[in-house]
Amino acid sequence: MARGRLITFEGPEGGGKSTQAGMLIGRLEERGLEVVYTREPGGTKLGEAIRGILQYNTAGEAPCAESEVLLFEASRAQLVRQVMLPALERGAWVVCDRFFDSTTAYQGFGRGFPVEMMETLNQFAVGDAVPDLTILLDINVSLGMQRCAKRQAGHKQQYDRIESEALEFHEKVRQGYLELARRHPQRFRKVDGMRDVEAIAADVWKVVSDVFFAEG
Ligand code: Z5A
Task: Encode pLDDT of 43-99 as tens digits.
Answer: 999 999 999 999 999 999 999 999 999 999 999 999 999 999 999 999 999 999 999
pTM: 0.97
| Mean of pLDDT over the chain | 96
Instruction: Give the per-residue pLDDT at 158.
Output: 77
Q: Average pLDDT, stretch 107-114?
A: 98
Query: Which residues sit with their C-beta closer than 6 Å to ligand 1?
Result: 13-19, 40-41, 72, 98, 102-103, 106-107, 147-148, 151, 162-163, 196-197, 200
Ligand 1 atom with least separation from CA of 13: 26
Ligand 1 atom with least separation from CA of 150: 44
CATH of domain 6-208: 3.40.50.300
Distance CA 105, CA 57 (A): 21
Distance CA 19, CA 23 (A): 7
Residues across the chain: 216
Nearest residue (CA) to ligand 1, atom 29: 13
